Amino acid sequence: QVQLVESGGGLVQAGDSLRLSCAASGRSFSYYAMGWFRQAPGKEREFVGAINWSGGSTYYTDSVKGRFFITRDNAKNTVYLQMNSLKPEDTAIYYCAATKSVLFRSDSSYDLWGQGTQVTVSS
């Protein structure tokens, strides 16, 4: 069983960059595709992006394309979310999640979730 722990959140200004990390315990990390989701106050959780098991393919929601980048290091059991040119509307709790499904954009496809890390972007 894989357990996930996010880190790297914080308070930044608009235009700044931030890198979130999601560390996985367990020996099966490389079998999972990894996704990032976020939930802003009063809003539903939304898909941010995902990376397949090998790191060879990534997927993003339109609002973050060209600004956010997901990578993974299977040797370190870690997936990263590099967030550039942050905007106030990026403020949310960010969650990483693991799935063996190819339906990366649907949160119902994910079996394992981290506890979340808060990202706040001030204007």
The answer to whether the beta carbons of residues 68 and 48 sit under 8 Å apart is yes
Q: Is 4 helix (H, G, I), strand (E, B) or coil?
A: strand
pLDDT of residue 102: 86
pLDDT of residue 103: 86
Residue-averaged pLDDT of the chain: 95
Residue 95 pLDDT level (bands cut at 50, 70, 90): very high
pLDDT of residue 29: 85
Question: Alpha-carbon distance 118 to 106, whole Å?
Answer: 21
69-94 pLDDT, tens digit each: 999 999 999 999 999 999 999 999 99
**Quick one: which of 44, 14, 48, 20 has its CA closest to 115?**
20
What mean pLDDT is predicted for residues 7-36? 94
Question: Alpha-carbon distance 13 to 27, whole Å?
Answer: 37
At residue 1, does pLDDT exceed 80? no
Q: Is 89 helix (H, G, I), strand (E, B) or coil?
A: helix
49-72 pLDDT, tens digit each: 999 999 999 999 999 999 999 999
User: Could you tell me whether strands 10-13 and 117-122 are parallel, antiparallel, or unpaired per DSSP bridges?
Assistant: parallel
Extract the tokens encoding 96: 């990483």
Alpha helices in 1-123 (DSSP H): none
